[in-house]
Amino acid sequence: MPDSLSRRAVVGSLGAAACGLAAGASAQAYVPQKQKQLTKAAAHYQDTPKGDAACGGCPYFTQPNGCVVVEGEISPTGWCPMFTTFSPLDRGAHAAGR
């Protein structure tokens, strides 16, 4: 067997093994990274609602007075432009053809 063929076989085997290891690593439990939060000033947060929109109705709001997106103490009657009524899990569903 020529040397070039045996080298190809070895390199191919190593590549397949590396792909298998990478696939195994990605199959382990997913742990999301902690998201860096915006300051209240950067988020243009206000302690009052905007019409019917208030932090307490936003999926980013965490009880009793927190937010996934904005740092610090957040009032359930506050508001910022990141306010939404859509679940973060629903965002982008249209792009996947659902």
Q: Rg of the chain's alpha carbons, rounded to an integer?
A: 24
CATH architecture classification, 32-92? Irregular (4.10)
Tens digit of each residue's pLDDT (9 = 90 or more) over 15-72: 555 555 555 555 567 665 677 999 999 999 999 999 999 999 999 999 999 999 999 9
Question: 6-15, 25-34, 66-75, 81-90: which has the minimum mean pLDDT?
Answer: 6-15
Give the residue extent of every domain in the chain.
1-31, 32-92
Q: How many CB atoms lie within 10 A of CB 8?
A: 11
Closest CA to 47 of 23, 72, 77, 26: 77
Answer yes or no: is pLDDT of 97 > 60: no
Q: pTM for the full model? A: 0.57
Give the list of residues 6+ apart from residue 57 with CB closer than 8 angstroms, or none: 83, 85
